[in-house]
Homo-oligomer: A and B are copies of this chain.
Amino acid sequence: WKGAPELSSSDGKFKFKVRGRLMGDFNSIDQDEAITGEPNVNGVELRRARLGVEGVVYYDWKYKFEVDFAGDASEVKDAYIAYANWADWEKSEILIGQFKTANSLEDMTSSRFITFMERSAFIEAFGIDRQIGTGVWAGDEHWSFQTGYFGGNTSNQETWFDSESTFSVRGTVAPINNDTTVVHLGANYRHRDAGTSDETGFAELFRYRARAADLHLADRFVQTPFIGENDDMFVLEGAAVYKRFSVQGEYAQLETNVAPGIAPGVKPTYNGWYIEGSVFLTDDMRNYEADEGAFGRVKPKNPVYGGSGGWGAWQLAGKYDVIDLSDGAAAINASGAPNAVMCEECGEQKTWLIGLNWWLTDYTALKFNVTQSEIEGGVNDGADITGFGMRAQIDW
């Protein structure tokens, strides 16, 4: 039993489990309408509503397939076939299908287990996501390695034809990984080619943008137009856990080649980074999965249910999260190229977050976030967006 039952044939030849998650959110956000022109938000949403399956056939052939139905739309998440167990490590898989490109510690950590409600701004801004392709994932008690070569993803699979491609590679080490202490170091790289549409020359370029206040119902006040033909990104990762204490940070830098029709020769360099720290008020600890180079499920020592007397795990956290999309804005705006666009919202966003997580049981949690973003540069310069978010989540 892992939330839902994990069924297994007696010889271990077949395994099967249904999986899924629900996250119900409330967001209240003051969007500084005087500057941004966007009204305040008081809204609810099902942030994630997923159902799927995972299993094994013939010992070594694994599959995982999950769909998200939030917002009454269906969006395929992990959907891959893997040939596993070809090396004597905890994880050794060759994957085909849709899966994460493996860029960033925080993106590799499931949305169920991240410390704040939303991931850091650079993850949305730099388009770190699942794509369709093939890859190799391997790892053991003190290291992990992931690489892949991809085309588009399920939402554009029938329209992004011509040679869209992504290559990614990531390595992590955990020199210390025991019951009280974890040290994680990692680095990863990604190159993307947008491909060009013969029809428009435009729609398939990359854009870069992030939501304010690190909350999902906020609008975006730093963003570029569709400009990039191809880009290169590298990310450095670090984290340490000592019993109930934890720090984590990442630095990401991305250089994009603006399409010549928009601004010839312009290559802005964008960057994003965050640093966060957390402490459990109860005698609990973050759970590290070295073979994926990611954090896993928080398992409260005293879960909350009738008669248990347990209070769950209480985690207090703080974070500073920066995304800077201002580089090259002047050059793009000054371009007289035929398809020139204006980089009006190409600014920087700095966000403070304070979070309180109540991990009720292994599978249920409540999260509370108080956040504040400041915008520098662009038309929203000086805007001060403050937000409050709550989440209830369960998975199975």
Contacts and interface: CB of A to CB of B under 8 A. Distances in A.
Interface stretch (A10-18, A226-234, A348-356): A10-18
Given A49-B154, A81-B393, A24 B58 contact: no
B24 A81 contact: yes
Contact of A58 (B20, B80, B363): B363
Nearest to A67: B69
B14 A57 contact: no
Given A198-B39, A306-B86, A74 B73 contact: yes
A57 B157 contact: no
A266 interface: no
A40 interface: yes
A160 interface: yes
A133 interface: yes
7 contacts: A3-B55, A24-B81, A41-B161, A44-B133, A46-B157, A51-B51, A59-B305
Interface residues of A, number: 80
Contacts of A122: none
Given A44-B152, A72-B76, A53 B162 contact: no
Given A74-B69, A76-B49, A97 B392 contact: yes
Interface string A351-366: 0000000001111100
Interface of A: 1, 3-5, 7, 9, 13-14, 16, 18, 20, 22, 24, 26, 39-46, 49, 51-53, 55, 57-61, 63, 65, 67, 69-76, 79-81, 85-86, 96-98, 132-133, 150-152, 154-155, 157-158, 160-164, 198, 217, 303-306, 360-364, 392-394, 396
**How many copies are assembled?**
3
A53 B20 contact: yes
Contacts of A396: 16, 53, 55, 57, 63
A360 to B, nearest CB: 7
A61 B305 contact: yes
B44 A162 contact: no
A59 B360 CA distance: 12
A158 B43 CA distance: 8
Given A61-B305, A70-B154, A74-B74, A53 B53 contact: no
Nearest to A41: B161
Contacts of A46: 76, 79, 97-98, 132, 154, 157
